[in-house]
Amino acid sequence: MEVTGFDTWVLSLAVFLPLVGALVVMLIPKAYETELKLVALGSSLIALVVGAYIAIQFDYGAAGDLQFVVDKGWIDVINSRYIVGLDGLSLPLLLLSLVVVPLCLIYSWNHIPDPGNPKAFFVLLLILSTGMNGSFVSQDMILFFVFFEVVLLPMYFLIGVWGGEDRRYASLKFFLYTLFGSALMIISFLALFFLSKDASGELLQTFDMRVLTDVAGVGIIKSTQVWIFAGLFMGFGIKVPMFPFHTWLPDAHTQAPTVGSVILAAVLLKLGTYGFVRIAIPFLPEGAIAWAPWIGLLAVIGIIYGALGCLAQKDMKRLIAFSSVAHMGFVMLGIATLTDFGINAAVFGMIAHGLITGMLFFVAGSVKERYHTLEIARLGGLLKAAPRMGWILGFASMASLGLPGLAGFWGEFPAILSAYNPGAGLSEELFRVYMVIAAIGTVLAAGYLLWLFQRTAFGEPTEEFAGHEIADVNRDEWIAWVPFLIGIVLFGIWPNLIFNVTDDVVSGITASVEAIAAGS
């Protein structure tokens, strides 16, 4: 499809408009607080409008192909190009990222956490946004790497400056873990660059992800693929985060300011899982097949470990953070099955987890703001004190535990089901064991989420807060939360909204993996 006129610009606009906004905000003096907030919000909203245009213009009949492709020279000396494009896999994630950022800006409008300084806060959120949007549309490994890294520093500062008590430790831990992963990731990217061959055995020497998807690792022997995959596994697995690299996550989430947690949960973690589906598996199918049982194992350990971790938590935000570990375990299990069904479920799970856990973090943030604590034992009676917020918490908890009819269900249930019959010649017995363990994980999930809801929302408010007036959901919060709530219901009732878009890409990937598996 030839891309012409305005369409050649749309992806770049969606990516760079927030950055332009950030630069403009930087030039506005601090004293003009309303103006700079408006500029920040405006730039992210225009980016969202561009996103809507992309969603409308997108040819859903050809969701498996890259659209709006732009291919321009960038770093000629290393043969890296500015290639952006999006297909059915990128589209939902790009939209998620485009939606979340303005909502976070609105939520923060009057709620800049201590020590204030809305200018810096908004600038960092906008830079973060550019990094996330860019990662989802990059079709060149080096470009992807640059965007992937751009998100690090803003998030580091968001946690470090506006975070809780232990923010220094948490922000550094987050950064060092991710940096280590990405250093190994870039080594793997370079290995792919130097080793990839086309069908006739010619060296390709390209970072073009389209080409590398097409050749699907032909010409790289299996043992090498396993090593390169290991590097990618570290890069993406730490970001997801997978057990045992998850330890940065509870700290980062607990200490981050509310919108930091929301963006972390809603979008940043998805960069990892997206990397597996977009890069690791299609580029190195044999490596993926060799690693799949181990990924599955770590995924189910993550599910159970995350759930047990939740049961032990005394802090509401930390509990939600551990639930993220468990949920990302389901996503990774879906990916590890290497089936069409499983990976589709995983992509759905990414979106669902983004909406639901993002919502939970929003509520946690608002609770913290009102009670100045998130210690579960001190909370209670939220339904009495602030009934709307209490019900929203209940709703999000239900969605999170995978209640059918809400979005969470479609991420979890098919992922578990797909493990019954894994693809690419993976051991059925093994994956069925994983399936049973994952199913137990859902029971635990119901346990800890309902227990959380019970302890915080039911009953009378604790003595400590008995006389206090607790404000219910306010206007800014409604504006920020309603889209999340609508999304959770909409995708729950009508999951094909996402499945239809992602399926073409995913079936393309699994077909090539199956072909390799059958051939070897």
Partner 1 sequence: MEVLLAFSRPALDWHALAPELTLLAFGTLITVVDIIWDDRSKRAMPTLAGIGLLATLIPILTLAVDGTERSMFGGAYVVDDFSLVLKALFLISGYVVILMSVDYIRDGDYYENEYYTLMLTSLLGMVMMSSSRDLISVFVALELLSIPAYMLAAWRKGGPRSNEAGLKYYLMGVFASAVMLYGMSLIYGLAGSTTFEAIAQELGSSEANPVAILGILFILIGFAFKVSAVPFHTWAPDTYEGAPTPVTAFLAVASKTAGMVALIQLVFVAFPGRDDVVQPFFWLIAALTMTIGNLIALRQNNIVRLLAYSGVAQGGFMLVPFAVAADAPARAVEALVIYMAIYAFMNLGAFTVVLAVARKTRSGEIDSYGGLFQYAPGLAVAMTIFLAALAGIPPAGGWFAKFGLFRALLDAGGGWAAGLGVVVAVNTVIAFAYYARVLVQMWFQPVPDGDERPIAIPGALKAALAVTIIATMAFGILPGLVGHFGEVSVLSALGG
Chain positions contacting partner 1, by CB under 8 A: 73-78, 120, 142, 145-146, 149-150, 152-153, 156-157, 160-161, 167-168, 172, 175-176, 179-180, 183-184, 186-187, 190-191, 193-194
DSSP 140: B
Min. distance of Cβ 184 from partner 1 in angstroms? 6
Q: Which is nearer to partner 1, 139 or 337 (CB)?
A: 139
Of the pair 175, 233, the CB lying nearest partner 1 is at 175
8 A C-beta contact, residue 234 and residue 276: no
Specify the residue, 217 or 402, whose C-beta has the smaller distance to partner 1.
217
Cα 466 to Cα 434: distance, rounded to the nearest angstrom: 46
Q: What share of the chain is helix, strand, coil (3-state, %, to 5)?
A: 75, 5, 20
Please tell me the distance from the alpha carbon of residue 465 to that of residue 122, in angstroms, as a whole number.
33
Residue 121: CB minimum distance to partner 1, A: 12
Q: At its nearest, how many Å lie between partner 1 and the CB of residue 227?
A: 8
User: Which lies closer to partner 1 via its Cβ, residue 78 or residue 482?
Assistant: 78
Interatomic CA distance for residues 230 and 218, integer angstroms: 18
Q: How far is the CB of 36 from partner 1 (least distance, A)?
A: 14
User: What is the token pair recorded at 261?
Assistant: 């947690």
CA angle 442, 443, 449 (to 5 degrees): 85
Dist. CA 426–CA 510, nearest whole Å: 13
Nearer Cβ to partner 1 (149/504): 149
Q: Which is nearer to partner 1, 107 or 175 (CB)?
A: 175
Ramachandran angles phi, psi of 80, nearest 5°: -105, 140
Of 253, 272, 249, the closest CA to residue 262 belongs to: 253
Which secondary-structure segment (H or E) carries 345? Answer: helix 340-371
> 142 vs 284, which CB is nearer to partner 1?
142
CB-CB contact of 393 with 453 (8 Å): yes
Angle 314-319-322 from CA coordinates, rounded to 5°: 135
Question: What minimum distance in Å lies between the beta carbon of 64 and partner 1?
Answer: 30
Identify which of residues 161 and 338 has a Cβ nearer to partner 1 in the complex: 161
Please, what is the minimum distance in Å from the beta carbon of residue 506 to partner 1? 29
Nearer to partner 1, 183 or 221 (CB): 183
Nearest-approach distance from CB 26 to partner 1, in angstroms: 9
Q: How far is the CB of 231 from partner 1 (least distance, A)?
A: 9
- Residue 398 C-beta: closest distance to partner 1, Å: 38
Smallest separation, CB 241 to partner 1 (Å): 16
The three-state (H, E, C) secondary structure of 351-415, written as one string: HHHHHHHHHHHHHHHHHHHHHCCCEHHHCCCHHHHCHHHHHHHHHHHHHHCCCCCCHHHHHHHHH
Matching residue, tokens 């985060």: 241
CB of 42 to partner 1, least distance (A): 23
Query: What is the C-alpha separation between 403 and 411, in angstroms, rounded?
Result: 11
Query: Cα dihedral sign for 492, 494, 495, 501?
Result: negative
Beta carbon of residue 94, minimum distance to partner 1 (angstroms, whole number): 20
**Residues with Cβ < 8 Å from 232, sequence gap 6 or more?**
185, 188, 275, 276, 279, 280, 284
- The rounded distance, in Å, linking the Cα atoms of 350 and 336 is 15
Question: Could you give the C-alpha distances from 446 to 219, 237, 326, 361, in angstroms and in order?
Answer: 47, 26, 12, 18
Q: 224 vs 500, which CB is nearer to partner 1?
A: 224
User: Which phi and psi angles does 315 have, rounded to 5°?
Assistant: -110, 130
Q: At what angle do helices 407-418 and 387-400 cross, to 10 degrees?
A: 20
Residue 49 or 183: the one with the smaller Cβ distance to partner 1 is 183
| Per-residue tokens: 20 | 């332009």
Instruction: Evaluate whether 364 touches 321 at the Cβ level (below 8 Å).
Output: no
By beta-carbon proximity to partner 1, the closer residue of 145 and 453 is 145
